[in-house]
Structures are given as C-alpha cells and as structure tokens.
Structure 1
Amino acid sequence: MQKNIIFIISLLLGMQSLAAREITFTDSATTTIERQLNEVEIAEKKSARSLSVFKALNINSIPAATTFSTAAVLQQIPSLSSDIEGNLRLRGSNKVTLLFEGVPITLFEENRSDLLIQMPVALFSSVLLFNMLPTASINEGEAGAVDFIFSPDFTDKSVLKATVAKGSNDRYNASVLAGSRIGKFRWQAGYDFRQEYRYRTYDKTTVDKTGTAKMNNTATAKPRTHIAMFNAQYLLTPSDFINFNALFQTMDYSRLGNINNTKTNTSGVVVANVLRQRNNTEKQTGNSEGLNWKHIWKEQKASFEASVNYDNFNYDQGNNFTNKNPKTGATLAQDRLFINQDKHQWFGSAKLTKMWENGLSSQLGYIGQWHKDNYSASDDDLISSAWVHNLAKSNDYELSKNLQTGFAELTYQSKQWKCLLGVQLQFDNRNGGKSVDANQTKEANSYLLPHIEINWQQSPFLSWTLRYQERVNRPLISDLNPFTDNSDATYIHQGNPSLENELAHVAELSNTCRVRNLTLNPVFFYRYRNHQIIDIATQQNGTTVWTKENASSAQDVGLEMNLTWKPFNFLTADASATGYHYEIDGTRQGYGIKGKYSVDAKGSVKVKLPLELEWEVYGYYTDRQLTVQGEIAALGSVGSALSYSCLKKHLDVALTIDNIFNSIEEKTTFNTMGTQQTIYRNRDARTLWLNVSYKI
C-alpha cells in the first residue's frame, strides 16, 4: 500500500503526527488480527479519518499535563483558542464541536465552558482537531471538532502511573492511571481529582436616556472535579475485535457573590442602590458508555463495524438571593431559584468498508442519534415570612431531537493522488415545549451534505490538499427554551423556539512543505453560512437579556500559517498565525452587515537543557472581535514550564506558571436601542503549579 503523508503539523508542546491508533498485540494468537487491521482498518482510517485530522496533541508529551485544565491544553493547539470564560474559538468561530472517542456526548453541550476551565486533562492520551469531519460522523460545527481520546496506546504489558500536583490559591490535583495486557485482553483505567480556584470580577456600565446604571460583581469558588475513565479491548476471534469505553465525571462548587447595583440620573444623582447577594451551589454529573464491535473478512479485504453509546448529563443549581440596602445592611427582599437540567442520549452507528482493486476503497453506513432534554426551574419569593411559589419565574421545558444519517464514501489512491468523495443524507426533527402545552414547536428537515478531499503528493517534501464540506449547526435546549433564565445577573438569557438550523459551507486549500529542519503549512480557508445563529442583546424593563436569532448569511475568508523550526537538536520553535476577514449580517435585526480583518497568533519555544531539564515559553494573542451590536477587545497570555526527568524517565517533575502578566481581562461593548454598555470580565487565571509524576 502506498504510503500516505498525513497532514498533521507537529506544533506546540511536543505535538506528534498521528497516523492511526494501531492495535499492537504481540502474542502469536493475535498476529493474524494485527496484520488484518494493518491491511483493512489502518488503510480505512488513512483514507477517511487521517486526511480529515488537521492537528493532534499528544498529552503524554507534555510533562506538566496534570497542571493544565482542559481549556489550557486546548490553547496549545495552533489556531484553536479559548476566551476568559472557556468558550472555544477556531478561525474566528466559536461553533466548535466537542467529542469523546468520536461521539458527541451531552456532557459537552451546555455549561461546557465551565467544564473546560475546571476539568483535568491528564487522563486523555491525545486530542485531535478536525477542520473537516470524517464522512462517517455527524457533520456539525462550522469550525470543526475537537476529539478527546482515552483509548490506551501503551505497548508494555502493564503500566501504573501516579501524579500529584499543588497549585497556588488552594489548587490541587491527584491522578492515577493503570493498565495491563493479558493475552487477548487489555484494559486501562484512570481517576483524577482536581480542585480549582476561581475568583471572578465583573463590571458593567449601562448608559441610556434615563442615566447611568453600574453593576459590580465579585465571587469566589473552589470547584471540585472528579473524572474517571475506563477502556477495555478484547480479541474475541481472529476476525472479531471488541472495544469498550466509559467516562464518569462530577463537578460541584458553592460560591457567595455580591452584586452591587447603582443607578444615577442624568445629573449624576444616585436614585437607586441595591446590593444583591447570591448564595449559589452547582453540581454537574455526566457519564458515557460505548461499545464497539468490528468484524474483518480478510480474503475480501472488507470489514463491518457497529457501535452503540449511551450518555447522560445532569445539572443542579440552587440560588438564594437577598436584596440589601448597602448603607444600612437591612434586608429588602429574598427569593430563591432552583434549576435542574437532565439530558439523555443514545447514539448508534454501523459501517461497511471495502478495499477494491486499483486503489479504490468505499464506505457505506448509518448513524442514529436520539436525544431528550428536560429543563425545570422553580422560583419562590419570601412574603410575610413565608415562601410563596412564583409561577411567572418557574419553568418546565422538554426537548426531544432525533437525527438519522446515511452516508457513502469512495476513495481513490495512487502514488501521488488521493481523492475522497463522500455524501451524507440527513433527516432530523425536534419537538420542544412545556410538557403541559399542546402547542409545542415542531420542526423537521432533510439535508444532502457533500464532502470532497483531494490530496496531491507533489514530492516527498511537498504536498497539497483541497477540501470542501457542508455542515449543519443545530440549536441546543438553552437556545430554544423561551424561559428567561435570570439565575446569573451578569448573563441573563432567553431562548428562541423559532430558531432555525444553520447551514455552513466550509472549504480550504492547504500546502505542507518540509525543508530540512523547517516545516511550513499555509492554509487558505473560506466559510459561508445561511441562517447564521447570532447572539442579540435586548433591553427588557431596564435589564439586558441575551437571546439567539437567525441572521441572513455571512462569510469568512482567511490564511492560516503554521511553522515548526528545529535549528538544533535541543531547540524547537513553533508558531501559528491566522489572518482573516469575517462578516456578521445583522440586517434582519436592523444592524446591517459588519466586517473586520483580524489576526490571531500563538507560539512556543522549547529548549532541552543539561541534566534532563526542559524549559518552555508559550503564549497567544486573540484579536479584537466584532459582534452584531458591538465588539470584544483583544487579549493575550504568556506562560512558562520547566520540567525535569530522572530515574530513566520514571520520575517527572514540572513547574508551570500560566498567564504570567494576568492579561486576559475581557472587555465587551455594545450599542442597542439607544443604550450603550461596557462590560469587563476577569478571573484569577494566573496560576503556579508544581507537578510530580512517577511511572512504574
């Protein structure tokens, strides 16, 4: 089989090229299946998945991985960034899909920004970034997808690794990873506990014709996250392979925040001043279990693969509010709000792969997704020393979604060319509304989504790839539920049940050039969206409420440049910069079309020092971003890590400091309906960690 050069750029923090995760059993009983997997499975992945994988991050190559939250690790992937709240952005878009072992689980939907900031990443073996999604997957996320991989890739018969870490401001992390291989069976399990520290400040100034309103908020929390993973692989017969994955996660914290609200008239006289205290508790739990079976017909050079996955996410929030007079401390009013969100999802797929003659291969398959969400909110007001239920502030909303996808793909490979032609036929429907409401909102759609990739290997050191794909972005329950969620006064939002799906056309032309110790990877990209889903802020009774609406269309075009340079064996420099022009169409909302040129950049320098020391400096810059009604200011951060390895690399010690200059404060401004608003957000993201890890 002709060797294929895969487009994975070795960039920040020791990223390594990923060809495919091969099964490496070594006993005689498994030699046959390994050879068959090499002939069928690996060829299949190279023809479908590897062309689509754009970048990969090997977690094991980061000595200080345990000290990083998931959001911090994702910052190490070129062109991918996260804002101060943990929201991801790729090439100017925040619509990035998160996957676990290739499956979109409910844990990665609402509240995922909190999860990314606080969830440890050390248990994952690698993180994959897809700009183009494989045909044999659900084509969602206009900016691609991030896939977290736990499946073991160790070749030793057993492994045991323990890690402890201490960070500034009562931050702690401890993890253990164990695994073994016995004949045809191997397993790997891991557990990690992490306590984070979050100190948040929020300042908002709103100016309108009646005067100026100021809101100041401070809150401190110490989220505790437990995460456990398990993977088991078994060679049932020489032609049948079974793989099982499981993930369990829980996170909880409590915080007391003070929100000071002051209103002055146009003459500067204070007309209202209320201190609103929020005693808040939150708990998230999630689990995912998946089973995969693969059968191989060696003589026919074909395989059949089937998988099923179930996952559940539950979110509980309790709020006790007290309004006080800041001068006297007297209590003015009290209320409480309890929120619960429960998600269930079944996911199944089946795929038939066949290797033909003359370099041809094909895939034919089906993907099904069944999703049910329930959101409930219960509000009580304290009236005359008794709690009275407030029906107007309570809510019970259900959403059920089904997605059926059939797909087909044909791949041709020769000495210099590789061409992939794929198509998906999707049918989706959703049904949302209150459980007691007979007039629920319903919507059904069908889509024919093409996928094209062409690779030309001009020489061993120069290659080109052209890609095109159409995708669908579907709203979540929080985007559709018309209930106004005011549990967080700094971000009050309301869903839009009439929201339509967003269609995205994505194309890119990339080149990879290797010259001695230098690798260059320029990528030209273009994105066009119909029914673009945008955030809109409105003023309701003097309160800013955010909701989602559909715009007409929008487009982005840009150039991304990735560079890896290794002038000496002890020195590696990585850099990535993305320059692009993007549009936001607010014509339907009365704001017209806005456009801007932006540049996002990041890079790192890694130096190997004597005595098994390794030192690294890394940083990123995110340019100013336009919104429909305003803009988000630029921000950047710089971090550093020093690691030491000894005892034949069994013992690793790392010292890291992130956000050295405390520079990721976020400033947002917008103008709407005669109102000008400026918002400053900040959190304690400057952290110092000491990490010790020992592997047996």
Structure 2
Amino acid sequence: MIQKTLIPILYFIFTFFVQAQTKNAHVLLGQIKDKTTQSDIPYASILIKDTQTQKVHNGTTSNDKGAFSITTTASSFYVEISFLGFKTKTITDFNSSQSRINLGTIWLEEDSQQLEAVQVRAEKSKTQFKLDKKVFNVGKDIASTGMSALEVLNNVPSVNVNIEGEVSLRGSNGVQILVDGKPSILSDDSSNALGTITADMIESIEVITNPSAKYDAEGTAGLLNIVLKKEEKRGINGSVSLNTGTPDNHSVGVSLNRRTEKFNLFTQLGGGHRSMPRDNKNSNLNKVNNQKVESYGTNYRNETFFNFILGTDYHIDDYNTLTLSGNFAYEWEDQPSKTYYQLYQNDILESKWEREEETSAENPKWQYEFNYKKEFKNNKDHVLLVSALGRFFGKETDSEFENSGNTTQTDQETNTDFQQADYTFKLDYTNPITDAYTLEAGSQYVINDVGNNYEVRDYNNTNNSFEIDPNLTNNFEYNQKVLAFYGTGAYEANQWGVKLGLRLEHTNLQTLLTNTNEDNQQNYTDFFPTVHTSYKISTNFSLQAGYSRRIYRPRLWDLNPFFSIRDNFNIRVGNPNLLPEYTDSYELTAVYDLGKASMNTSIYNRYTTDVMERIFLFDENSNVTTTSPFNIGTKNTTGVEVNGKYSPLKWLTFNGDFNWNYFSREGVYDTQNFDFSGDSWSSRVTSKIGFPSDIDIELTGNYRSKYKTIQGQTSGFAFMDMGLRKKLLKGKAVINIAVRDVFASRIQESTVNNSSRYQYSFGQRGRFFTLGFSYGFGKGEAMTYSGKRR
C-alpha cells in the first residue's frame, strides 16, 4: 500500500522538477571565427559560468565548422570562450530571459604572448578525427629533418612505406595519393616525384580509409591527401633553409608569401643533390637440375633536382576568388651500378661475371591549375568550386649494360622515351542548408594519356655494333578516361552525425602495343555507395563507423608487357589483360580523450575481388624468373588498429600506433591453387624529451612483422630514427640533426620456395645522417627543407 502511494508522489515530484528545469533552460548558439583570417575555429572551448561564484555550469567545444550549441539552466551566468593562441573572450551582453540565445559570430583575436607557447605545442605532429577521415597535422618533428613527403608518410598512423617506396594503408596497397585534394604529377607512381614535396611544405596529411562519394573511388585501400601550406598572414613572410648529409643529401629551400587586401602570392623554391645507394642480393635455385645463379651488388641513384611553385589567389570581392598556380620540377639522374653473378652446378662454381650499368635520365615535370571559388552570402561554407588541372611528366632515359667475365650474356643498350599528360576537370557544390544539414554534389572528368617508347639494342660481335632487338623493343600507348558524378547528404549535430553518398563512374580504357598491333579495350560503369556516422557518447568518448566501395584500376606499369632488362635473371613485365580490383570496406572506430592520454581503436574489414597479385614465373631452362601481375581470386582482411598519445610530464611525450590484420586468400591460376591465410602486424612508438636551453631529443622505434605472400614469405624488420634540435633566436632559427635507420636494420628479405625452385632476394638502404639549419622571417617560422626523397 505504501509503495502504491509513494510511487505516484515521487513520479509527480520528478516530473515537476524536470518541467521546471526545462522551463528555465537556455539554449545558446554561436559561430567562432579568427578575426585576422576570418576562418572558422574548430574545437574552441565554450564554458557557462556563474556570475557570482565563477563556477562552471556547463561546457562544450565548437564543431569542425566553428559552430556550437550549449544548454544551461542557470539564471545568472556569462559565457567564456577560449582557444590556444587566442585571447579569451567573455560575453555578458545578452538577454538571459530568452530561452534561445543566438550569440551570432564571435571573433577571437590572436594572443601574441601565447604564440611562442602555441608554436612549442604545435611542433609535435598530432592526429585529429573527423566524420569521414583522420587528419595528421605535420609538426616540426626533429626526425623529419631532411624528409621527403614519402618519408613523412611513413610517420603517419596507418601508413607504411617499404624499402622500395611503395605506400600501403593498413597493410594493403592500392592507395590513391592526392595533393590538395586533387591528382598531382608530384604524387603519380610513374613520375617517382614525391621527393620534390618536402616536410616543411606540408600542412597536414588526411588519411581517408573510407572516403565519401565526393572523392575518387580509385584506391581500394583508401586515400591519402597531402595538404600543402599556403600562408595567409598579411605582409611578407617566409623562411630559408640549408641541409647537408651523408650519403649525399644537400639542398637549399626558400618559401615566400605576400598577402595584401586583394592578392595572396605564394611561392616555394628548392634545389639540391642527393644520392640513394641500395644493396641487393638475389639467389635462384633450380631444384630440377640443381643449378643456381647468385647475384649481389649496389645500385645508386644520384639526382640533381630543382622544384619551383608559384601561385596567387585573387580575391575579387568577399565572395569570389580566383586561384592560378603552377609547379615546375626538373631532375637529372645518374644511376651507376655493378652486379656480380655466380653460376653453380651441384654447388660447384662453374662461372662468374659482372654486369655494369650506366644510366642517365632527364625528368621534366610541370603542372598548372585554375580554380574559381564562389561563396554565397548566407553562409561562408555555401560554396561553388570550378577547377581545371593539367599536368605533364616526361622522362628520357639512356642505359648501357656491359658484361665482363665468363658469360654468354651480351652487352646491351636501352633508350626509353616516356610521356604522360593528365587533365582533370571538376565541379563541386556544397550547400549547408542549416547548421546541421549539408548537401554536396559535383562531377569530374579525368583524361590520362601515356606513351612509353622502349628500345633495346644488343651488341653484335660479328658486326662490332649494336642492333635493335625486335623482341624487346616496343611502343606502348595507354589512354584512360573516367567520367564521374556524385552526391552526398550529411546531418551533423553536437552529439551525432551521419553522411550518405553515392558516386557513379564510367571508365573507358584503351591500350595498344604498336609493334605487334595488340590492343585492349575496357568499358565499364560502376556505382560506389558510402555511409559514415559518428556518435559522441560523452566529451571524452565517441564512436565512428563507415562503409565505402572502392576500385583500383591497373596502372601503365601493370599493363605494359615490357618492363625491365636491368637484371636478365630477374625480369618484371606487365599484363595488358589485367582487370580492376573492387573492395568493400567497413570500419568502426572508438575515440577516447583521457586528459594526459588519448587513444583511438578501430576494427575494420576489407573484402576485395579480382585481386592483382605479382606472380613469379620460373623458366627451368634459362634460370630466369619473370614477375608479372595477374587477377587471382579474392582477399578478405580483418584487422584492429590502435593509435595513442600520452604526456605524463610537460617535457615528455609518447606517441604510438599498432596495426594487426588477419587475411584469407582464395584463388586459382593456371591450375595452381593459391588458397592460404596469414596475419601481419606493425607498430611505431615515438618519444620526445625536452631539455633546458631549448634542446629536444626525439626517438622513434618501428617494427614490421613478417607476412605470407601468394608464393612465399617476406621477412619482418625493426629500425629506429632519432633526432636532436636546438632552437635559436626565440624559435626563429633552428638547428636539426637527424639519423634515420640508426642501426642500419631496415632490411627486407623475401623467399619463394616450391617443388621446382627456391628464390631469395635481399634489399637494404642503410643509415642516413642529415644536418639542417633554417631561419624564418616576417611572421614566418623556421622550416626544414631538404628535397630528400626515396
């Protein structure tokens, strides 16, 4: 009886209390912007404080666009807004009797007294999490001294770069690399030019494992977008740097920016010389006749390079901007190498000889881009963007191969004339209908036109002259056109958000081998849906989930049936009949913020069909191993990834990431069953230690586990990078010392072992030292430009 009476009374009291609280609640809205640059300030802190006691009633942070919404039931309060590097703003001028209070646009001013502290905290690279991507903000990590974009990528969580310079994301190849959101000649596989982008030129790298429909569907593993710096500070700003190192790594770089009311002129100039030796070993054992060929030697890649970027933004008015930019780069290559061969029969040495290579090449690259950006008066994020991009890469290479010793191998000469022209036309429209709802739509047309004229000349002892080898000489033409349309819709509130998208792409591919008149044509149309969602459980914990369908189209070097005669016993060729890969990608991510520590954990799954695998084909009669790509079955990968940061003390910080995945392969080629399964894992830990007198030391340890391949196994390895930095003139000048691969332990070994043969290969780059000095002037900061690349 008491319970029956008490429950309604308690329910009445609770309902009355809730209604009273709701009746007195205030909802405050606003938008936070930088007064100098007029740009949005995301993740600013908003506090509701009691007028009398200054006690905090409630708090929140602004979203990616600088907007916020916060509720309070206090009757007497004020609003305090703060962000690192800006003056704290207190707002008391509003009508507290209203239930909905719109504070409008809130402008924050830079705090010059905090700037030095901001710079110190921003020196360390850090990762931010957004609805459909992770943003790795590139700081002034000491070990990045002398780094190229390719080596910076190797420091990004989820990304690995092997000794050959191949980029993988969560252990999978098929990564699409963009520069400022667009294809670039600097990131193209065939140009080998990521080295002309250096660490100091990079603002951030966006890791997009499940890209939305707005992005190209290209890249089954996902996208990496390299965002370059483009200063917006008024007046003249810039920096200059000098670097030297061993093996040869000498460069000078200059970065300048001039900002006026109407124009923003930006330029970067760099040049230098570098050398990249690599030690190689190979062994091919024919188990049928017990014949073995071993080879070892050192390949060198010496380059003198030059890179120039020039561009301007013209602000027609507050809502219309034109951008015109150009990039020109040039490289002179010299690749001397000597390889020693030994032929064994039943473990008895029968012959040995040397093969010496002299290769020279000139590589011009240029790119030009035009953008028109229209902002609408109702919202700065309501944007129409039209862009046209043209890029060109050429490479003319001459090689001489001379054999000496006991061998029947002939001397050879080769000449390669490579030309690539790409054109991209884009239309993007973004409309934030409300603070929560956003629509995007657009289209893209991409043209890839490539030609590779390859000529091989064999030495004729009878005529004492070089004659063209028609079996190896070829002219390969590659033309691909992709037309795309996309649309996305997003809802993003303070607590949760969802984004849906659909992309349509039509591909037309034509290849032609002119000397045999072999042609290949492929036409296909695909739909690529995407889904992303996030839910903020508390201020310290949130969840993200995503799905996307991706494609990886075979490149020129995958399709060209002629590739290399550098080593006549280990030849790589393409396959003009290759089909594209398709991948369905799923992931769930939890993001934690624990004060001194932060961590995110992801569970992901990728299912890929028509997997492109490189197969080793062994000729028992000649002991020649030919490597060629084929479409072989499916691959199912499930993995866990953990990234974290811990700062137990002001002078000590740890960053780490760990990735483990299990994969299952199913496929058949030429009656051979390639079903197998395995796992792999990688980890990275970086520690930064601060000492008095503005001296910092940084240590980075890396480990890559061994893993199974479709025909064999690739070894694991561990390596360490370290660096030391001394700041001068209150941070305007910096001296850096960096050592990469301290113990020269970054060694990659692979084996293939079956009933007919055993193959072993070894590759090592070695230890690199770099010394750098940089100085920033105007409002610019010291940088570390090197031009170092793979």
Name which of 482, 489, 492 aligns with 1:410: 489
- 1:544 corresponds in structure 2 to 625
What's the CA shift string for 1:126-151, capped at 9, x where partnerless? Answer: 33222222422212112222222224
Answer whether contact 1:186 1:233 (CA < 8 A) is retained.
Answer: yes
- 2:662 corresponds in structure 1 to 581
Corresponding position: 1:615 with 2:693: no
Corresponding position: 1:362 with 2:436: no
Q: Distance in 2 between matches of 1:37 and 1:421?
A: 33
Q: 1:259 Cα shift?
A: 1.9
Q: 1:282 Cα shift?
A: 3.0
Question: Could you tell which deviates more after superposition, 164-173 or 509-518?
Answer: 164-173
Which amino acid letter does the alignment assign opposite residue 749 of structure 2? K
- 1:223 corresponds in structure 2 to 303
SS in 2 for 1:440: strand
- 2:556 corresponds in structure 1 to 477
Equivalent residues in 2 for 1:38-53 (5 A)?
50-53=130-133
Q: Distance in 1 between matches of 2:275 and 2:575?
A: 34
- 1:650 corresponds in structure 2 to 732
- 1:160 corresponds in structure 2 to 238
Q: 1:662 Cα shift?
A: 0.3
**Unaligned 5+ runs, structure 1:** 8-16, 23-34, 39-48
Distance verdict in 2 for CA 1:517–1:615, change over 3 Å: same
Corresponding position: 1:207 with 2:314: no
Name which of 667, 675, 678 aligns with 1:593: 675
Q: Distance in 1 between matches of 2:171 and 2:63?
A: 26
Question: Could you tell which deviates more after superposition, 386-395 or 446-455?
Answer: 386-395
Corresponding position: 1:307 with 2:387: yes
Q: Which of the pair has more CA radius of gyration? A: 2
- 2:403 corresponds in structure 1 to 323
Distance verdict in 2 for CA 1:488–1:466, change over 3 Å: same
Q: Distance in 2 between matches of 1:21 and 1:433?
A: 52
Q: Distance in 2 between matches of 1:118 and 1:241?
A: 28
Equivalent residues in 2 for 1:273-288 (5 A)?
273-288=352-367
Answer whether contact 2:299 2:337 (CA < 8 A) is retained.
Answer: yes
Q: Distance in 2 between matches of 1:250 and 1:51?
A: 39
Q: 1:106 Cα shift?
A: 4.1
- 1:70 corresponds in structure 2 to 149
Which amino acid letter does the alignment assign opposite residue 546 of structure 1? T
SS in 2 for 1:497: coil
- 1:262 corresponds in structure 2 to 342
SS in 1 for 2:451: strand
Aligned length: 658
Answer whether contact 2:42 2:65 (CA < 8 A) is retained.
Answer: no
Question: Could you tell which deviates more after superposition, 623-632 or 295-304?
Answer: 295-304
Distance verdict in 2 for CA 1:96–1:5, change over 3 Å: farther
Answer whether contact 1:250 1:284 (CA < 8 A) is retained.
Answer: yes
- 2:350 corresponds in structure 1 to 271
- 2:783 corresponds in structure 1 to none
Which amino acid letter does the alignment assign opposite residue 677 of structure 1? Q
Q: 1:526 Cα shift?
A: 0.7
Name which of 774, 782, 790 aligns with 1:693: 774
Question: Could you tell which deviates more after superposition, 297-306 or 514-523?
Answer: 297-306
Q: Distance in 1 between matches of 2:309 and 2:682?
A: 34
Which amino acid letter does the alignment assign opposite residue 599 of structure 1? W
Q: 1:444 Cα shift?
A: 0.6
SS in 2 for 1:452: strand
- 2:74 corresponds in structure 1 to none
- 1:175 corresponds in structure 2 to 253
Q: 1:66 Cα shift?
A: 4.3
Equivalent residues in 2 for 1:331-350 (5 A)?
333-350=410-427
Distance verdict in 2 for CA 1:652–1:245, change over 3 Å: same
SS in 2 for 1:561: strand
Q: Percent identity between the aligned chains? A: 18
Question: How large is the RMSD of aligned CA atoms in angstroms?
Answer: 2.7
Q: Distance in 2 between matches of 1:94 and 1:18?
A: 33
- 1:26 corresponds in structure 2 to none
Q: Distance in 2 between matches of 1:331 and 1:254?
A: 27
Question: Could you tell which deviates more after superposition, 367-376 or 275-284?
Answer: 275-284
SS in 1 for 2:131: helix
SS in 1 for 2:312: strand
Corresponding position: 1:428 with 2:510: no
Answer whether contact 1:84 1:682 (CA < 8 A) is retained.
Answer: yes
- 2:181 corresponds in structure 1 to 102
Which amino acid letter does the alignment assign opposite residue 166 of structure 1? T
Q: Distance in 1 between matches of 2:532 and 2:723?
A: 38
- 2:72 corresponds in structure 1 to none
Q: Distance in 2 between matches of 1:197 and 1:410?
A: 49
Could you tell me the TM-score, scaled by structure 2's length? 0.79
Q: 1:247 Cα shift?
A: 2.4
Q: 1:116 Cα shift?
A: 4.5
Name which of 751, 761, 768 aligns with 1:679: 761
- 1:238 corresponds in structure 2 to 318
Which amino acid letter does the alignment assign opposite residue 598 of structure 1? S
Q: Distance in 2 between matches of 1:358 and 1:659?
A: 48
Equivalent residues in 2 for 1:95-134 (5 A)?
95-111=174-190, 115-116=193-194, 120-134=198-212
Q: 1:320 Cα shift?
A: 0.6
Q: Distance in 2 between matches of 1:667 and 1:331?
A: 29
Answer whether contact 1:417 1:457 (CA < 8 A) is retained.
Answer: yes
Distance verdict in 2 for CA 1:563–1:306, change over 3 Å: same
**Unaligned 5+ runs, structure 2:** 1-28, 32-39, 44-61, 68-104, 109-128, 778-790
Q: 1:67 Cα shift?
A: 1.4
Answer whether contact 1:119 1:225 (CA < 8 A) is retained.
Answer: no
Q: 1:155 Cα shift?
A: 2.5
Answer whether contact 1:482 1:496 (CA < 8 A) is retained.
Answer: yes
Distance verdict in 2 for CA 1:416–1:145, change over 3 Å: same
Q: 1:639 Cα shift?
A: 1.1
Equivalent residues in 2 for 1:131-142 (5 A)?
131-142=209-220
What's the CA shift string for 1:489-533, capped at 9, x where partnerless? Answer: 575211111111110111110011111111010011111101111
